[in-house]
Chain A
Amino acid sequence: MIQLETREQTSRAAVVVAPLTAIAFTLAVCGLLVLWAGAPVARSFAALLEGGFGSRFALTETLTRATPLILTGLAAAVAFRARFFNIGAEGQLYLGALAAVAVGGLHGGAGFAWPLPLLFIAMMAAAMLAGAAWLAIAAVLRTRLAVDEVVTTLLLNFVVLLFVSWMLDGPMKDPAAMGWPQSVALNPALELSKLIERSRLHSGLPTAVAAAALLWAMLKFTAFGFEMRAVGANREAARFAGIPVNMTVIKTALISGALAGLAGAVEVAGRTSYVTLDMSPGYGYAGIVVAMLAALNPLGVVLAAVFIAGMFVGADSMSRAVTVPTYVADVIVAVSLLAMLVAAQLVRYRVRWRT
């Protein structure tokens, strides 16, 4: 039998060594897989790194991918901090994207006839509102009727995807798309500016990083952030101390949903220009991994998102260089997450083997 015992004191060294060990373990496991695929391990890892971070192109691609991941990662991190398990960032992202196009793309392909700055703000606000409102359904069900939010947020994702599919084939269909399920395009004037010439990197990245910094400061310096952390750490004690637990959960859900909705708007305005059914390769779900990898720390979310984006971008180019399937990226991300979680537990607990 295995037992976990709490360590009396967590050593500083362990805090540093544990994640490094986790990374080493991940590399070892993936090295075996690469060997199994019949490719040279060293060259494969080199290709992976090179492809993810090794050139200007690789870096900008990675950061472009990381942008929505930071936002969905923050959406998960902030909700999980208050122990509200939002698994539905994917759906909130799509609704945000639809809302952005509804404000800034419909109505004759140019959005509402408002002054451009106002229209831009309205577009972003609509996306955040859409995400927040959608998650509010699950939050209210949870706080009023004790319906498990893991189930509701997950299932509401499918509702959104069907809704998007209907929109793209119906009211928001792009007549010029030759039958492809694709929305009308955003007013080009509303698109986010490019950060670097001849790359896809756009101003969504600094926006996402700013959101992370803002969230970090909110958790640390505001009364609401304190309440959120208290509710997440011990709901019963928070209630006893006079913190309005249900209200805190609902407010947290609104922030989380808004962040995921913003991710959708940033993708449309920064990268795709229109909504398609495959515009997100699971950014909403990957956001959960990002948040867990970052131990729910908003600043850590930025790093974790860049790491995961780099692995995916790098794996694409690795599979072209050597004969290793791109799925290796999924394995790396999954193993690293598990290894990190185990490492984090080992810092707090020690394992006892009993016969």
Chain B
Amino acid sequence: MSAPVLRLSLITKRFGTLVANDAISLTLARGEVLALLGENGAGKSTLVSILFGHYLADEGSIEVFGQALAPGDPAAALAAGIGMVHQHFTLADNLSVLDNVMIGTEPMWKPASDRGAARRRLLDLAQRFGLAVDPDASVARLAVGEKQRVEILKALYRGARLLILDEPTAVLTPQESESLFATLKRFVADGMSVIFISHKLDEVLVAADRIAVLRAGRLVAERARAATNKAELAYLMVGREIAPPPKRSARQRGPAVLESSNVQLRDGGRSRLAAVSLAVHSGEIVAIAGVAGNGQGALAELLFGESTPTQGTLKLNGAAYPRTPRAAVTAGVARVPEDRRAQGSVGDLSLWENTAIEQLRSPPFARFGLLRRGAMQTFARTLVTQFDVRGATHGDALDTPARLLSGGNLQKLILGRALSSPRAGPRLIVADQPTWGLDVGAVADIHARLIAARDAGDAVLVISEDLDEIFALADRIAVINHGRIVETRATADWTLAELGLAMAEKRAA
């Protein structure tokens, strides 16, 4: 076996008391695809950030193609032939594909840029690896999968021989993921090496030659693909047997709680929702599946009471849908927003203030404009116990600023707050990406609570980009594509491939 392309030796990185990477040593061979598998927070992104020079390791060293790599310097990493495709793309939306690829590759003092040569080189690379792009297209108009292709081409254009992809499939449909894996195969056939990060067991078993499992900052195992299986990887990744998903009782669904018929939402001439017809009944979970950016945000906004339909009718329990967030809460809509830190909580306010904020002006919490702080704190104390919110470590736990809570605990608080509002009849629960970025334990907890709410007769609408989550939770799955609900079926009537096709299908916007 030839000398490794990459050698990480005893990389350690601490953030305060947290050890994000604990003495990790890894090698990567020429022509190899290595998957870094682990839960959120296991240290995968930290490790590749160190490799690419975004972070400085506290200990350890890196060798690339036999040469020591200067730590903490992305420019050195680029020069050494490392290319990185971030989970959140780093493209300039207002520029063309060609401009994005060329950015930063030409010296500042050069009077004129040689766009002709750059275009030829880009098209040549695109053809060689089967990454079709239009060099003159504006990046803002590209679909997510296409943007990812541009990111990859950008790395290749800079001469990357070692490509790192951070959660590359998170934004892709199953079909797009397959085509990405085919591209990776071409890279390694060409003598390049690839590291990709994932927390999805199925895809690492499809795409990787070797799998390195990280857990809580440690490298717990390395396995060749042929020598392992899904069950073993799951066990290694989580560190314990995973409880089987809660048994789902067959249940009679009740009357429709949410009824949406041909709802449209336009925003300054731009269509955000083209046609949404959907019903969610008491006692069922309906999931909205779709590729990111196909109207999920607009739909959530509508149901949160933050905007009103431009056309069509939207009803809650047969009455007109509430038109403000406060009215939505009063009417029994339990809301879990996509971004728990930017939308779901006010980081600088205390935990108890955050639990009461949705019902701030309601009689139990305010009288004559004066806060009833005692009542608010009692409410918060009950909620924290009931929903098992942890992480308040010092002083009076309820006074802890919400920003100090971990993602999972913050999400429990937000869900608890939503489910603790007064109700009359079945609630409508709207959960937008309810488990995004949470660890397995927190995910199981949130799922169990959503299912329990369903069993208690609530109507649950889950918007998610995680198909595993959708299949685990939903009684029915509706696909959103270009602002339309294109198809709704019972979960058992969908196959993964059909779902992917419905999500990806091109249609006139």
Contacts and interface: CB of A to CB of B under 8 A. Distances in A.
Given A8-B16, A9-B394, A355-B72, A241 B369 contact: no
B17 to A, nearest CB: 7
Contact of B371 (A8, A226, A239, A240): A226
A239 B329 CA distance: 13
B221 interface: no
B348 A234 contact: yes
A233 interface: yes
Contact of A230 (B72, B324, B346): B346
B56 interface: yes
Interface in A182-231: 221-227, 229-230
A239 B306 contact: yes
Interface stretch (B165-173, B268-276, B357-365): B357-365
Nearest to B328: A242
Contacts, number: 75
A8 B324 CA distance: 36
Contact of B361 (A223, A225, A234, A240): A223
Contacts of B335: 240
A243 B371 contact: no
Interface in B316-338: 324-326, 328-329, 335, 337
B342 A241 contact: no
Contacts of B369: 222-224
A354 interface: yes
Given A226-B353, A241-B360, A354-B56, A233 B306 contact: no
A233 B346 contact: yes
Contact of A241 (B72, B348, B357): B357
Contacts of B371: 221-223, 225-226
Interface in A1-41: 5, 7-9
A40 B369 CA distance: 57
A140 interface: no
Nearest to A223: B366
A240 B432 CA distance: 13
B41 interface: no
A53 B306 CA distance: 55
Interface in A238-287: 238-243
Contact of A243 (B17, B56, B357, B370): B357
A39 B99 CA distance: 61
A162 interface: no
Given A242-B329, A243-B360, A354-B72, A223 B370 contact: yes
A334 interface: no
Contacts of B343: 236-237, 240
A241 B17 contact: no
Contacts of B326: 242
Given A223-B369, A224-B369, A237 B344 contact: yes
Interface residues of B, number: 35
Contact of A240 (B344, B347, B370): B344
B68 interface: no
A96 B361 CA distance: 33
Interface in B54-78: 56, 72
Contacts of A233: 346-349
Contacts of A237: 342-346
A240 B304 contact: yes
A242 B358 contact: yes
A226 B358 CA distance: 12
A294 B305 CA distance: 38
Interface string B362-382: 000110011101000000000
Contact of B370 (A221, A239, A241): A221
B8 to A, nearest CB: 20
Contacts of B360: 223, 226-227, 241-243
A242 B418 CA distance: 13
Nearest to A355: B72
Nearest to B324: A242
Contacts of B337: 240
A11 to B, nearest CB: 11
Contact of B357 (A8, A225, A230): A230
A247 to B, nearest CB: 12
A239 B307 CA distance: 11
Contacts of A243: 357, 360
A89 B292 CA distance: 46
A221 to B, nearest CB: 6
Nearest to B401: A233
Contacts of B394: 9
A8 B16 CA distance: 7
A241 B335 CA distance: 9
Contacts of B358: 241-242
Contacts of B305: 242
B370 A222 contact: yes
Interface of B: 15-17, 56, 72, 304-306, 324-326, 328-329, 335, 337, 342-349, 353, 357-358, 360-361, 365-366, 369-371, 373, 394
12 contacts: A221-B370, A223-B370, A223-B371, A226-B360, A227-B360, A229-B349, A234-B342, A234-B347, A237-B342, A240-B304, A241-B360, A354-B72
- Nearest 8 pairs between A and B by C-beta? A242-B326, A242-B325, A233-B348, A223-B366, A241-B357, A234-B346, A8-B16, A240-B343
Given A9-B394, A221-B371, 14 more contacts: A8-B17, A222-B370, A223-B361, A226-B353, A230-B346, A230-B353, A233-B346, A233-B347, A234-B348, A240-B325, A240-B337, A241-B325, A242-B324, A242-B360
